[in-house]
Structure 1
Amino acid sequence: MEPWPDNAFLQGYYEPLTAECTAPDLIIEGEIPKDLNGTFYRNGPNPQFPPQNEYHFFTGDGMVHAFEFNNGKVSHKNRWARTERFKIERKLGGSYFSGMNPLETDPKLLNFVLTDKEGVANTSIIYHGGRLLLLEEGHLPFEMDPDTLESEGAWNYYGKLNTVMTAHPKVDPVTGELVAFCYMATGPFSEDLGYYKIDKDGHLTEYHTFQTPYSAMVHDFVVTENFVIFPILPIAGSMDRAMVGGPPFAWEPEKGAKIGVMPRNGTPEEMQWIECDPCYVFHFANGYEKDGKIIIDACHFDSPPLFPMADGTPTEANIHPRMNRWEITMDGNTPTAITQNYTAPESVSGEFPVIDPRYAMREYEHTWFTSTDRTKPAKIPDSDYVYNAIVHFNVKTNEVDSYAFEHGYVSEPMFVPVEGGAEGEGYVISCVYDDSTNMSDLCVFDAQNIKAGPIGKAKVSHRVPVCFHGTWKPAETYTPAGV
């Protein structure tokens, strides 16, 4: 195989692994709590071959890392998602699919690309309805065996789901219902979104489509007990632009921004739209209702990284977003006003927020996210979408508790509650890449004392490349306490 090309997203922290490994008993530094039992899954892009065209890390083959915690011990395994694309390239012995623009794909494979149901399965991962599902918002969920990580293929909910799924569905901690959506629901660059629900046992119960103000990349959304909120923010899609080799999605703030609000148990005919300031949000922390308002906490970019202007020129992106509180005033089911105000200190950037999952869709207090401390020696240039710190942010008091690594790049944290504990009592886990050793550690923090640093580390004897998102599957004996 040829060396990886000189591309920032194929070097250092991003450099793909070329092997699948199994390590049954990782070396432990410090102490892993014995009441932390279950499996932590991470999913991210890991191309098996050097790309044939310009590479965008949104398009690498999915690879899952599974860390199993058992009575103070940790094991690790990693496996590629063996999608149809992966198997075709493995058979041909090289890269044959394009990056963001399918028209750059080898012409012999273009028809396959346009009908493929599996994609690269590289963005997120959930465990719901007894299935481990890899999510990548352009295709169906992709199933893996939760124990062996053996690939099972596309999952269409017993033949009832004929479209794609967001990388960020929401699970109601009380009912177990999964609420999901998809953009471009009726074809490439369409203005239609799909909205659907899946019960706790994994059965699709309803599906709707509706038209939005324009074709946009909608990476995340918000669900409360009684409402669903769809942000149409101006990373806009254009078939015409893509057909002539331009960016399929681009930052177009002149299109404006609108927020759609719909009753959770309603229909698209009840959708109401309200304008907001142009911005972009890849990830929301949580949303809930209180005193006639919908309260939303968002990792807010004034303009986004990773996407150019419509003419292909780079955006003047602030790649260090801040926690921003949106308050939507409601008159019954109708939004009448919206405010957007930063809540975290200006010095505290934040992305990849997580919460205590027992408080999803409900009033809450704690969130944890990745951040950047530029006083540390880790090489984090302005152009890199990477972070070296973990922050605990109290959304009620705006207090900050953080820890920064000297040479570490942190991944999205995962909060794991202690059984029967109050909100925020538990552990925070993050996979941390050390740029001084080119290896990774799985770090465990006391969720209420992040500044003390990791209480335990599981030492991985190789690099764990950048992953986007993860999930936690408790050991079978764990029974989560309700809100």
Structure 2
Amino acid sequence: MDGDARINPYLTGNFAPVRTEDDFELEVVGEIPAGLRGALYRNGPNPQFEPRDPNHHWFSGDGMIHGFFVGDGKVSYRNRWVRTEKWNLEHAEGRSLFGTFGNPMTTDPEYIGRDTGGAANTNIVWHGGKLLALEEAHAPFAIDPDSLEPVGSVDLGGKVTAHPKFDPDTGEMVFFGYADAMMPLSPMVSYGVADKDGRLTRRETFEAPYSSMVHDFMVTRNHVLFPILPLTGSLERAMGGKPPFAWEPEKPALVGVMRRDEDTTKIRWFSTDACYVFHVMNAWEDGSKVVADVMKYDVAPLFPLADGRRGRQCGAYLVRWTFDLADASDTIREERLDDLAGEFPRYDERFTFEQNRHGWFAGQTTKPGDIRTNTVSHIDLKTGRRGDYIAPVGDGVGEPVFVHRSDDAPEGDGWVLAVAYRAAEDRSELLVFEAQDIAAGPVAVAKVPRRVPYGFHGNWVDGR
């Protein structure tokens, strides 16, 4: 690594990429539950080569899928890069070609403006019989669910961001794309729907009040909600050598609410104090109200101010936002639900569109605002009680993924899976918990003989 790379926090410690693709049978300590059979797929950034940009951002590394295949009490592991066109071009050249977020100022001049399928590095979902790797700014990329080898880009009419929602009534995938135009960092946002077989049935575009990084959104049975929060994008700023994305709290914090059976000209904008939300737990309707539980930051983390100065870091906390569609006020009502800083909220997705009682998230007990979360936490939203598994000092635990025990099991009855990093041994583990007894610790641990870098999102697919 050169001098810049050595001091970049996203290229050191367990953020640093691994350079090998491996297949391991894992040592299991404890007992894998007999009913747990399938695969946990997890996606995250893993640069193939040293980045061109001295200000390389964690969010821009090449996607790498880590697959944990579980059955008959055993666990095997496989990791592969997502071989998008970008990955293939750079692999052939033997070097990085593109700047962070495609920034033309740090992209090889020969490749400026070339759409290469992106990094596919943020989430991985199963829909329409395909395993899809997703990121912010490009089409989904399908991979083989067993070998993790590339299948290819999937055309859904343009960008599909990393957090689609799945309608349990229809099987539809509801999604959006931001900066959705030929011009990067534009205020254009699109809304789309793919049917249960993965066929595009709707796509329309509207102009948001300004260009914002819209990482996640909310969907209920009858409504869709678009957060336009002041983590702003600016091509002009980027071309002037300043950050492509930056925190501008003087801009309004807005959430647009639209009925799913109407078009984007009918969006109603609600407002709140300056804040940022990366992730939503769940959303539902309560009479004339739409309610959403989200992890809210008072200041957008991981990004600088518009002039390039470092921003203030803070933790995210689970809050409940209420939008009263029958009220003349367009102010979002807010209630904090818990006092532990955290990220990556999840729930039993069989209860999508319903008010869920049980939720899980990765918490941070020692340094609120540190993205290296160190707990798996279960919260009972009916009683307010929370149970935590706290990792040893220096270790990290990623997003918890819920797996139901059976199709007809009560809400929250099942297991939670999470990938942990063990700093003292510089390796990782797959942890398996009883979902409602997280504080008791894992019932089984599958040991990976090397580390799995910190990543983003994963999902469970039954029966693989």
- Establish whether TM, by shorter chain, passes 0.5: yes
Q: 1:270 aligns with which of 252, 263, 266?
A: 266
Query: TM-score, normalised to structure 1's length?
Result: 0.92
What residue number does 2:95 align with? 94
Q: What amino acid sits opposite 1:76 in the alignment? A: Y
From 103, 106, 123, give the equivalent of 2:105: 103
In the alignment, does 2:174 pair up with 1:179?
yes
Instruction: Answer whether contact 1:302 1:317 (CA < 8 A) is retained.
Output: no
Contact 2:157 2:203 in 1 (8 A): no
Deviation at 1:382, TM superposition (A): 6.8
Q: Match of 1:358? A: 350
The residue number in structure 2 matching 1:405 is: 391
Unaligned runs of 5+ in 2: none
Structure 1 ranges of 4+ moved more than 6 A:
none
* Structure 2 counterpart of 1:323: 318
Partner amino acid, structure 1, of 2:398: S
Question: Identity of aligned pairs, percent?
Answer: 44
Give the letter aligned to residue 7 of structure 2. Answer: D
Partner of 1:128: 127
Please give the residue correspondences for 1:134-283 in structure 2 after superposition, counting only pairs within 5 Å: 134-156=133-155, 161-186=156-181, 187-283=183-279
1:342 aligns with 2:333: no
CA-CA distance at 1:459 after TM superposition:
0.7
CA distance in 1, matches of 2:127, 2:28: 30
Q: Conserved in 1, the CA contact under 8 Å of 2:361 and 2:399?
A: yes
String of CA shifts for 1:36-90, please: whole Å, max 9, x gaps: 0111000000112122322211111110001111121111100001111211221
Q: Is the 8 A contact 1:261 1:335 kept in 2?
A: no
Unpaired runs of at least 5, structure 1: 375-380, 477-483
Does structure 2 conserve the Cα–Cα contact (< 8 Å) formed by 1:409 and 1:432? yes
User: Could you tell me whether the CA contact under 8 Å between 2:313 and 2:369 is conserved in 1?
Assistant: no
Q: Secondary structure of 2:302's match?
A: coil
Distance 1:145 1:20 in 2: 15
- Quote the residue 1:480 is aligned against: none
Partners of 1:179 and 1:201 in 2: how far apart? 13
Work out the CA distance in 2 between the residues paired with 1:176 and 1:71.
Answer: 30
Aligned residues: 458
2:401 corresponds to: 414
Q: Return the letter of the residue paired with 2:226.
A: F
TM-score, normalised to structure 2's length? 0.96
8 Å contact kept, 2:230–2:248: yes
Offset at 1:383? 7.0
Counterpart-to-counterpart distance in 2, 1:5 and 1:87: 25
**Which amino acid letter does the alignment assign opposite residue 334 of structure 2?**
Q
Equivalent residue runs for 1:75-90 within 5 Å: 75-90=76-91
RMSD: 1.6
Q: Residue 301 in 1 paired to residue 321 in 2?
A: no
Match of 2:380 in 1: 394
Matched residue, 2:281? 285
Q: Is the 1:259–1:275 Cα contact (8 Å) retained in structure 2?
A: yes
**Against the structure 1 CA distance between its residues 301 and 439, is the aligned structure 2 distance closer, same or farther, given a 3 Å change threshold?**
same
The answer to whether the 8 Å contact 2:104/2:239 transfers is: no
Q: Which amino acid aligns with 1:16?
A: P
Measure how far apart 1:397 and its partner are.
2.3
